[in-house]
Every structure is written in structure tokens, then in C-alpha cells.
Structure 1
Amino acid sequence: MAAPTFNVFVGSETGLLKGINTVKEYWTNLNTVATPEKSNEIRSLTWVGEHESEICVGLRNKRIATVKLIDNSFSEFTQFEQGNGDLRTAFYDRSATVLALESGVVNVWKDGELIQDINTGSNLTCMVREPAQPDTFSTGGREADLKLWDLNKPEQPVFLAKNVKNDWLNLRVPIWITGIGFLGDRKIVTCTGYHQVRVYDPQSQRRPVLDMSWEEYPITAMSLYRDNQVVVGNTHGSMALLDIRTGKLVHNFKGFAGSIRSIQCHGSQPVVASCGLDRFFRVHDINSRELIHKKYLKSRLNCMLMTGMRWQDLDSESAVEQISTEQNIGTVEQTPEGKATEDNEDEIWNQMEIVKTKTIKRKDVIADKDSVKGKKLKMKKK
């Protein structure tokens, strides 16, 4: 069996799933979109099972599909109508499908029927499943503090976090969780829209054991690196490596030009990948901060998923074959009306006529000024 061609998958706001080969440094769209709409935005990319052979793709309009990495083929999308609000996260749990909606409702479907309806609180922004225990997941959102749930006992949360103490003005600190990660020792790391990074220990206390701030902009993406460091990114286009043992900044990464939406560290290599609204996919070396890869993917990027394989294990033969056979790399079908979509807007710019400008020398400008002054003097004399 041939090895997979791509090792990174990125979802865009227009509904395109992009496969990236970081070794051969090329990418392609794995699907086509006839009419790009906000409802088709890819918001969730999660693995199906433990073998990283299939990906669960969740769209904003609560449609779910799977992608087989052997041939990069999509299954038919399944529409889930139950529940209010757009989709935030979706994943497969054995034979069940779990959907988290913005309204705070987590629905569990099996064989086309709704078997569980869990209310986690309103304004849900993220839901993450614990890798060590697939039946356990955590939720958080705007004014919805961190909660730990068990699918076998959905009546009450297993753990409910408590807000930090009031600030120095004795005012309540607002809550806005934007990212969640699980550490190896059962601790939980969160990032917030109020530029905070917090570490919780559910076995000891409800309040965070570490509460630190980073810059002054909302943190929109986070990924754990080892068990004591975390990479975070914000809406201002900044990304940094933080030490969650000491609560201090390790170093910053450079080269960004827009809001960062997704960050993921490799499981065995010291690299971190990121993407965002500036439409670039980047890979940095975590230790040296060097920018290793940078690709323009033409769409506003929303989420990302990286395989755990070593990049040297990518099948070079299948990659070369893929490059030679693909004729529409990086393009999208046009709409029925013939209007260009967001992904082929570069072609429009390339077809535009170049307007040439003439460089004016400084001595010519001085001569023009002198001639104007001479004309004014003549008019005054008259």
C-alpha cells in the first residue's frame, strides 16, 4: 500500500480542503466548490480512529463527511438539522457522530437518530476530546467557563472550572475561552479572547494553577509542545512559544501578516505549522525560529490537521505521480454564472494591463517650477 501523498490538511472559509506535501513543497485542492458560500466554511478537521487513515470534515452548516487518505476521496455529506446555531466541532466516536454547536448544545447521533442532547452552556466556541479517554471531552466559550464531560454520564460535568479572583479594582474578570489542550498529566491548558493562558489541575482545585497574560490581543489558536510549553497565536498576527511551568515567554516567531486561526505542533519533530486569514501556510522550526516553509493557498484558512508521520516517510513516487497527473492544482471551478471565485482571483490580477509610470527627475521638477514662476512674473508686469 502506497504511503499518503499529503501530510498536512487545511480547511478554508470557502469550503475547500487543501492537501499539502511539505517535503515536495506542493499543494492541491482535494475538492471543488461551484458556489463558495459562508455556510460551506470548513470549521472542523478531526481524525477518525487512531490510524490517521480518515478525516472527519465538519462544515458550518452542520454537514459532515469523511475523507479517505489512501485516494483522497470524499464520502457523501450528511446533513444534521437538529439543534440551533452553526457547527463548531465534530468528530466520530466509534459508531456515533458528535456535533458541538455555537448554542452550547452537543448532539450525539447514531444510525441517523439523536441519542444524546447535552447542554453545555451558551456561546460555545470550542470543544476538544481528550486523547487518552475518547469518551471525555471539554467545552468552553464566551461567559462559559471550562467544563469536562463524560459521554457515559452526560447529566452533569465531571469538572467545572471556577473563575479567577476579581482584579485589582475588585471587578469580575470576564470569561472567553478560545482554545483547549490536554497535557499528559491530566492537566488542561486554555487560551482566552482576553490574551490569557491558564493551566487547570482538575484533581486539585477548580481555579487555574497558572494564569498568565501574553500581549494585548485575543488569542485565537494554540498547540501544545511537549508537556511544558505551548505555542499561541492571536488576531494581530503574532505567534510565540510560552513556558507554562514558569509563565514566561520563551521567544516569538516572525513572518505573519494577519490573524492566525490554527496552530499545530508536530508530534515527533521540532516544527510548528500555522495558517490564518492572510492565506499563507507556514512552518517554523520551534527551536531556531527559522521559517522553513511558506505557501500561498489563495483562500482564507480556518483550520488545520497534521499527520503524525515523519516527513521523510512521505511516498516520493506517489507524490511525483500526483504532480504530473493533476492539471488543476490550486484552482477551483467557476460559478455557473462564470464569475471568478476567491481562489482564482490571482488570474484576474495577472490579466490586468500594467500601467507604466514615468520617473521624473528632480532637475526637471525645478525647471518646471522656474517656468511657472516666470509666467507669473510676466502676468504681473502686464
Structure 2
Amino acid sequence: MKWSTANLKSPNYTENHELYVGTSTGTFKRFVPAFEENPFVQRNLYDINQLEKDDRVTALSFGNDTSEIFIGRAKESVHMHSLRSDTVERTIELKFAPVVGFARFDDYLAAGFSNGQVQRISIESSADSELIISSGDDMSHLRQCPTNRNLVATGGKGRQNNLKVFDMAADGKQIFTSKNLPNDYLQLEVPVWDSDVGFIDSPHTLATCSRYGYVRLYDTRKQRRPVQCFATEEQMSFATLVAHGNYIYTGTTMGAMKAFDIRRMKTFVHTYKGFTGAISDVSLDSTGKYLASASLDRYVRVHHVDSTVLLYQCYVKSKATRVLIRQSAENPNCSTTEATEEDLDKTENSRKKKKIVKPTVPEDKEYEDMFENMQTICDDDDVSDAEKEEEKSKKIGSKRKGDRNFNKSKKKKE
């Protein structure tokens, strides 16, 4: 698909996906690309009239399953939005703001803040004690481990805010902290800025990306320093990442999206095109084949991870800051089809029941009396059976007489 600023959808994109997008104005929207009538319809799941100046969406995360979404904003509160009822079920008050990441485990919610604090709070009961952990003084992102949901990883700007892993089930115990690379040839410290972190299908393997243009791979079982690293002298500032299998997908502030293979990190293996602004967030579906991205150019996009083809692009009307993608269990075209069939049935029934109304004519009594007093002619019901037999025999006799006359005339001619 060629580059374009219009809304686009590839005919090869047939997956039943739902996209949830948070914007800089605070709106929270849903997109259904599988909707055949209009795949670019965007529905606001939050009342726009209730939005305030500090309602910018800074974090989006699924709960224990994909039926609930936690929405973090630039203020000291978080909304738990239920996708089953399409309403905000609960609003949780927080200690700090803004939120940079969520982690849901058991009956607790862990929230990371830009000041480096991590707060654990009970969702069911507000009376339970809260736990606050210090991860530094400048946090950029917090991620939860998909295989061990008690583990969270944090990363930020500066050596004191480098990659750390905490066990929230063990009262926030720190189980790993990364170590910076050796000093450069001038014996100067290598600058550190972990703008995003992520687990790679394992609680022991993590990846980080940086605004300073590097992508690093860590194995907590081997060493504190990265086991593999990608770095370039070009201006490539990484803002966000997501990992699945052997691949890391990153988005940059210059509007480029790259894919790296963890088995050889010397260079990137894929480049995804179509962006005109900084990429603020990326998300993978459950199969790992479709990559959704939110961009500050006010577009949300879906790429195929292997062919790098742009499958879907839609204008969001505001700067998209966060995005989530999930596989929908419902067919969005069923309701429309059923409604259409019901409308057709109603129309057909109304046509059958509809009566033809004849124009009314003023009644003439003399004309009606004349027709009522006239004698009925050739009415089969008033003729007796004997009269019918007599009339029938007369017809047969006239027919035979005509046949005799015809034979006599024929003999005379001969």
C-alpha cells in the first residue's frame, strides 16, 4: 500500500481486531477495522464534556484479561473501564501523577509514576494498606511480565534510573538491577536513558530502548550488563518498544519503526513505513502477527510484522499517545445484518397488511334500486336440473341435424 494521509484499509486485512486509542486531549476511542460498512468509524468511550485540561492519556493497559482496560491520565486518578458493559466501573485515587505504566496481579494494581515511585494498591478494598516503592527519581515506563504477573520492570533517564525488576508479591523486593556499559575510550560514562522496557516471553529476558539511540538485551540469569546491544551514530531516538518471540519492535521520535532479531542485534531486520510523526506507542495482538502503532501525526496504524505491509490507517483527530489491540470475540457485521433482515421482514409484512383504499363515490338511491329490481339472467343457481338436461338434449339434437344436412349436400355434389 502506498504512502498516503487518507484513511486506508487493505483488502487483505480480514482479522477481527479492535483498537483502543488514548489521545493527548483525554479522549478514549475504539476502532473496529473489521466493520464492513465503515471500518473508520471511531467511537468515544468517555464523555468528552467531562474532559479537563490534565486528562491527557499517559498509560493504557489490559487487566487480568482483555475485558478490562486501565486508563492512566496526567492527574492523580485511574479509571478501570469494562469492555463488557462499556462503562467506567471504578475510579481509583493515586498518590502521584502522571502515570507511566500499570500492572494488574491478583486483587492489586501497581502503578508507576514519572517521579520514580511505584504504588501498589488494592482494587477491591481501599482500606488495605498501600505499598510505595522507590525506583529512582525519573521513570519513563513500567511494564508487567506476561508470564509471571507479579514481576514489573521499570526504566528511566540517568544511571540511577536504569532497568530494575521488582517482585510485587514479595512487598516490592528488587530482584534485578542493570549495570551500565564500560566507560568509553575517553573514560567517560556512557549516557543512559531507558525510555521503554519489555519482557521477551520470559521473566529472565528483557529489552530496553533509549532516546540515545540504542537497544539492549538483558538476561538476568547471566549478568547485569546487556548480553547484546544495538547502537548507531545516526540520529535514531527510540521512544517505545514491544517484544514477541525472537523479535523486538521499536518506534522512534523521527517517525520510523524498526524490528530487531535478538539472535543478531547488529542491525535491524525490518522497517515499517507510512509515518509522518513521532511514534508514541506500539502494541502487538495475541498472535504476534499484527503490529498496531499510535503516532503524534494523529493516526493509528496496523502493519503486518513479516511482510511490513501497511494494512490499516485511520485519522484519530487528536495526537494519539497510547494504543491497545485485541482479538474481538464478536462479529461486528452480525448486528447490521440482523437489523437489515428485520427491516425487510417488517416492510414485507406491512405490504401484505396494507389495504387498497378505493375512492369514495356519492351513492345514488334510484340507480341502486333499479339494479336491485332487474331480473337475473343466466344464473346457474336458479335453473333446475331438469331444465339443464332439456337444454343439453336440444343442443345435441341440433348438432346431429347439422351433421345430416352436411352429408346430404356432400352426396349431391358427388
The correspondence of residues 97-246 of structure 1 with structure 2, limited to 5 A, is 97-110=109-122, 111-113=125-127, 114-143=129-158, 144-154=161-171, 156-185=173-202, 186-213=204-231, 215-225=234-244, 227-246=245-264
Distance 1:88 1:269, change over 3 A: closer
Kept after mapping to 2: 8 A contact 1:178/1:219: yes
Kept after mapping to 2: 8 A contact 1:86/1:101: yes
The correspondence of residues 317-332 of structure 1 with structure 2, limited to 5 A, is 317-318=334-335
Gaps of 5+ in 1: 323-382
Distance 1:212 1:79, change over 3 A: same
State the distance in 1 between where 2:195 and 2:255 align: 16
Deviation for aligned residue 1:190: 0.8
From the two aligned structures, give the one with the greater helix fraction. Answer: 2
Give the stretch that moved more between structures: 185-194 or 267-276: 267-276
State the distance in 2 between where 1:151 and 1:283 align: 33
Cα deviations across residues 69-125 of structure 1 (Å, max 9, x unaligned)? Answer: 123212353332x24x42222343322232211111111122224421111111011
The correspondence of residues 32-43 of structure 1 with structure 2, limited to 5 A, is 32-34=47-49, 36-43=51-58
State the distance in 2 between where 1:38 and 1:288 align: 40
* Amino acid in structure 2 at the alignment position of 1:48: G
Distance 1:293 1:320, change over 3 A: farther
Deviation for aligned residue 1:165: 1.1
The correspondence of residues 328-367 of structure 1 with structure 2, limited to 5 A, is none
Kept after mapping to 1: 8 A contact 2:34/2:332: no
State the distance in 1 between where 2:328 and 2:246 align: 22
| Equivalent residue pairs, number | 313
Cα deviations across residues 136-187 of structure 1 (Å, max 9, x unaligned)? Answer: 1111101111111011334641011100111233211111111111112421
Gaps of 5+ in 2: 1-15, 340-414
Kept after mapping to 2: 8 A contact 1:44/1:88: yes
Match of 1:46 among 53, 61, 73: 61
State the distance in 1 between where 2:336 and 2:298 align: 23
* Amino acid in structure 2 at the alignment position of 1:21: V
Kept after mapping to 1: 8 A contact 2:101/2:142: yes
State the distance in 1 between where 2:30 and 2:186 align: 50
SS class of match (1:288): coil
The two structures, once aligned, show a CA RMSD in angstroms of: 2.3
Structure of greater Rg? 2
Instruction: Give the TM-score normalised by the residue count of structure 1.
Output: 0.76
Kept after mapping to 2: 8 A contact 1:220/1:235: yes
